[in-house]
Amino acid sequence: MGGLDCYGAEIGGLADLAGDFDFLSTVEREAWIARQWTEVAESMGWAGALEAAFERIRRTRIGLAHSSATAIEAYRQVALAEREEPALVERARVRQEVLRALVARSSNVWKIEVEAASLPLGICFGGTTKGGRRPSSGLVEGLLAKSGATTVDPQQPGRGVGTKPASEVPAQRAFLADSGPSYFWRPAPRVLAYRPGCGNDAPLRLALGTFPWVYGHRLQAPAPGTLWRSDAGPHAPAVVGLEIAASLWQPAGNLRQDAREVVEHWRHWRDATGDLVDAVPVAGEKARAGDCLYRRGHLLEVCQGSLELVGLNGPRGFICAAAFNAVQRRFAAFFAMRRALLRARERLPSELRRALNKNPDPCLRQQLNLTALLGA
Per-residue pLDDT tens digits for 309-357:
999 999 999 999 999 999 999 999 999 999 999 999 999 999 999 999 9
The predicted structure's pLDDT at residue 120 = 73
How far apart, in whole angstroms, are the C-alpha atoms of residue 262 and residue 335?
A: 9
Q: What is the DSSP letter of 92?
A: H
Over residues 126-179, the pLDDT tens digits come to 875 443 334 444 433 433 333 333 333 333 333 334 334 444 678 888 999 898
Which of the two residues, 257 and 191, has the higher pLDDT score? 257
Mean pLDDT of 209-237: 96
Q: What is the DSSP letter of 293?
A: E
Neighbours of 176 (CB within 10 A): 15
Using N-to-C axis directions, what is the helix angle for 259-278 and 321-343, rounded to 10°?
140
How far apart, in whole angstroms, are the C-alpha atoms of residue 14 and residue 336?
A: 8
- Decide: 98 and 92 in contact? Cβ < 8 Å: no
Over residues 75-91, the pLDDT tens digits come to 999 999 989 998 899 99
The predicted structure's pLDDT at residue 162 = 39
Mean confidence (pLDDT) of the chain: 84
pTM of this prediction exceeds 0.95:
no
The predicted structure's pLDDT at residue 200 = 63
Over residues 12-53, the pLDDT tens digits come to 999 999 999 999 999 999 999 999 999 999 999 999 999 999
The predicted structure's pLDDT at residue 286 = 59
Mean pLDDT of 252-258: 96
With H, G, I as helix, E, B as strand and everything else as coil, classify residue 124: strand
In the predicted model, is pLDDT for residue 376 greater than 60?
Answer: no
- Decide: 337 and 329 in contact? Cβ < 8 Å: no
pLDDT over 90 for what percent of the chain? 65
